[in-house]
Amino acid sequence: MITRINVGPIHPGTHGVLRLLVDVDGDTIKKVEPHIGFLHRGVEKLVENRMYLQNPVYMEKLDYIAPLAFDELYVSAVEAAMGIPVKERAQYIRLIQLELQRIASHLLWLGTLANDVGQLFTIFMWAFSDRDKVLRLLEESAGTRMFYVNQRMGGLIRDQPPDFAEHAAPLLDYLDQRIAQFQEVLEKNPIFTERMKGVGVLNREDAIRFGVTGPTLRGSGVDYDTRSNQPYYVYKKLNFSPQTRGEGDAFARYKVRMLEMKESIKLVRNALKSMPEGDALGMQIRLINPVPKNRVVTVSRETPRGEGMMYMVADPQRPYRLSIRSPSFINLSVLNHIAKGHRFADLFAILASLDPVMADVDR
Amino acid sequence: MDEEYYSSERFLNAKKEMDKLVEESLKSREQKQNVFFTKLSDVTKAMSEGLINWSRMNSLWPLQFGLACCAMELMDFGTSRVDAERKGYLLFRGTPRQCDVMIVAGWVTKAVIPEIKRMYEQMPSPKYVIAYGECATCGGPWFESYNIIKGIDQVLPVDIFVAGCPPRPENLFGALMKLQEKIGGKVED
């Protein structure tokens, strides 16, 4: 007999305002039907009525766990449309900020994942205290704690403080140790591994067919990362290598994110070492030429959750149309496929391993 | 640095401070001396003024419920840096039936209003609402959007508004202290 269970929209396990209708036979999941739209606010329409410089505020709220990723993506789209080159020092600083943001985002994900699989609050507290340290460093570099709005066309609104590298180095060493500690606590713990290994398997063909990106795709053994496949900024110079795992289960996705954090630490270290001197400031507001060179542009970037993409039809002063490819939405679409046949309690481990942000899904 | 930070002396001092705080907060609830109650209802009334308010304000349990961006700062509020438990704001509860405070963190869409109302109705009385962040206070940057209501105060009675986009976790701590003041008089830091 099939029973229908309603989960959410306000539920501690759904990571935001997501409603799931789950058909279960006993304790086995037969079908998962996500209902979305509880955070819909019409960003794409609002953006059309505002000037280019007013829009980053809206873009940051798309992915509130890693706001800088979408801020930078939008500014890059405007740069591509206007034909504005980015200064070299600004490229390095942006890279450092993006990678620090990725670490902070993955740490938040790790804390909530551990909560969902029954490691109540120990890992959560550890991850959040570490995330707070990363956020403090970002605050030093970008100005505020959560919503930065520090990107300007061609650069940033201000340079890094001169002693930033000195402050960053001890924290990066600390994070290296800390990630090893996390891995030791989690991977040697049978409660964690039993609930993650072999759960929510997404094989290579299905991953490509559904169009998932980010750690979800790389956990299924596909070597695709926008940072290496369509390289931007100085990722190539800094020896970036994408992290992949072949198993395709929730544990592989966890492993990819842990490896990515290590890779990000390496990237930030390399960037701080080889950062050139010079000017990093973006254009002043009155100097920005609002007449676009390319009317239609498509820009894609690797956000912590996958490949974010923006398609923009540019008009003078304001975008005529801005379409956003949100990675969370597409990653969430795979939920029914991989949760089928598992126990009901595994649903939240699977959902957490996909790491969706609902504001990004609903737009 | 760590050894110094966690020294036993520090803990002893903290204990002394804690004892002092408790004593003072008990003193501040003016207890009348030499009172002779003639009715049982007078006794309960006196108790409800002092003891119940005191216990109520020192164990505010918030509901684990986040809508959007501000929920990230809400999660940070519960963790070790801000340490909300030292003032009695216990870790977030998963069910509204155990909660006193609802913190509305994030923009409120038309689709989510019925759910919020249902959660509020399930909470036992007395219950308090905090509008946390610009969006819950007045609509914030979405004031032109067709799907967002301009502030949760159009739906629920709000006790405290917290401004900021998003407010820092310390601000929420301040807001809850204000709420304590509202319930039972002055609160010491």
The CATH number given to whatever domain includes residue A313 is 1.10.645.10
Nearest CA in chain B to A62: B69
Same domain, B78 and B101: yes
A224 touches chain B (CB under 8 A): no
Radius of gyration of chain A (CA): 20
Residue A160 has pLDDT above 60, yes or no: yes
Q: How far is the C-alpha of B94 from the C-alpha of B99, rounded, in Å? A: 9
pLDDT at A161: 87
Q: Domain end: B27, B57, B87, which one? A: B57
Amino acid letter at A360? D
Length of chain A: 363
Establish if B62 belongs to a structural domain: no
Percent of chain A with pLDDT over 70: 98
Angle at A152 between CA A299 and CA A297, to 5 degrees: 20
Q: Specify the higher pLDDT residue, A24 or B27.
A: A24
Same domain, B29 and B117: no
Q: Enumerate the residues of chain A whose CB falls inside 8 A of the CB of residue B165.
A: 147
pLDDT at B169: 87
Give Cβ neighbours of residue A98 (< 8 Å, ≥ 6 apart).
Answer: A68, A69, A72
Nearest CA in chain A to B73: A146
Residue A167 has pLDDT above 70, yes or no: yes
Same domain, B48 and B83: no
**Closest to B112 (Cβ–Cβ): which among A38, A124, A359?**
A38
pLDDT at B6: 61
pLDDT digits (tens, 9 = 90+) for A264-298: 999 999 999 888 888 888 777 766 667 777 889 99
pLDDT at A144: 86
CA distance B9 to chain A (A): 25
Mean pLDDT of B130-156: 88
CB contact under 8 A, A40 and B111: yes
Average per-residue pLDDT for chain B: 81
Q: How far is the C-alpha of A208 from the C-alpha of A290, rounded, in Å? A: 38
Look up residue A133 and give its two tokens.
């340290």
Same domain, B134 and B74: yes
φ/ψ of B184, rounded to 5, equals: -145, 40
Same domain, B38 and B81: no
Range of the domain at B144: 70-184
Half-sphere exposure of A63 (CA within 13 A, CB side): 30
* Other Cβ atoms closer than 10 A to B56: 16
pLDDT at B72: 86
Mean pLDDT of A219-235: 88
Interface confidence (ipTM) of the complex = 0.81
Q: How far is the C-alpha of A57 from the C-alpha of A59, rounded, in Å? A: 6
The number of angstroms, rounded, from the C-alpha of B135 to the middle of its chain's C-alpha atoms is 19
Establish if B3 belongs to a structural domain: no
pLDDT at A120: 74
Same domain, B49 and B81: no
Q: How far is the C-alpha of B106 from the C-alpha of B144, rounded, in Å? A: 16
**Secondary structure of residue B98 in the 3-state scheme:** helix
Establish if B5 belongs to a structural domain: no
Amino acid letter at A93? I
**Closest to B112 (Cβ–Cβ): which among A17, A49, A65?**
A17
Give Cβ neighbours of residue A348 (< 8 Å, ≥ 6 apart).
Answer: A13, A14, A116, A117
Percent of chain B with pLDDT over 90: 2
Establish if B22 belongs to a structural domain: yes
Nearest CA in chain A to B148: A41
pLDDT at A174: 92
Establish if B10 belongs to a structural domain: no
Residue B13 has pLDDT above 80, yes or no: no
The number of angstroms, rounded, from the C-alpha of B99 to the middle of its chain's C-alpha atoms is 10
Same domain, B136 and B102: yes
The CATH number given to whatever domain includes residue B171 is 3.40.50.12280
Please give the tally of structural domains in chain B. 2
Please give the tally of structural domains in chain A. 1
Mean pLDDT of B85-111: 84
Tell me if the pTM is above 0.95.
Answer: no
Give Cβ neighbours of residue B119 (< 8 Å, ≥ 6 apart).
Answer: A10, B63, B65, B96, B102
Q: Per mean pLDDT, which range of A186-190, A239-243, B149-153, B184-188 is the poorest?
A: B184-188
* Other Cβ atoms closer than 10 A to A259: 19
* Other Cβ atoms closer than 10 A to A220: 27
Same domain, B21 and B48: yes
Residue B1 has pLDDT above 60, yes or no: no
Complete edge-to-edge strand list for the sheet that includes strand B101-105: B101-105, B128-132, B160-162
Contact B84, B55 (CB under 8 A): no
Residue B34 has pLDDT above 60, yes or no: no
- Structure-token match 């492993």, residue found: A255
pLDDT band at residue B22 under the 50/70/90 scheme: confident
Percent of chain A with pLDDT over 90: 19
Establish if B169 belongs to a structural domain: yes
Same domain, B100 and B138: yes
pLDDT digits (tens, 9 = 90+) for A74-116: 999 988 988 888 888 899 999 999 999 999 999 999 988 888 8
Q: How far is the C-alpha of A118 from the C-alpha of A346, rounded, in Å? A: 11
- Structure-token match 């990004």, residue found: A360
pLDDT at A256: 92
pLDDT at A106: 92
Residue A184 has pLDDT above 60, yes or no: yes
Give Cβ neighbours of residue B118 (< 8 Å, ≥ 6 apart).
Answer: none
**How would you classify the pairing of strands A2-7 and A19-25?**
antiparallel
Range of the domain at A279: 2-362
CB contact under 8 A, A125 and B71: no
- Enumerate chain B positions whose Cβ falls within 8 A of a Cβ in A: 64-69, 71-73, 75-76, 79-81, 91, 94, 106-107, 109, 111-112, 115-116, 119, 141-142, 144-148, 165-166, 168
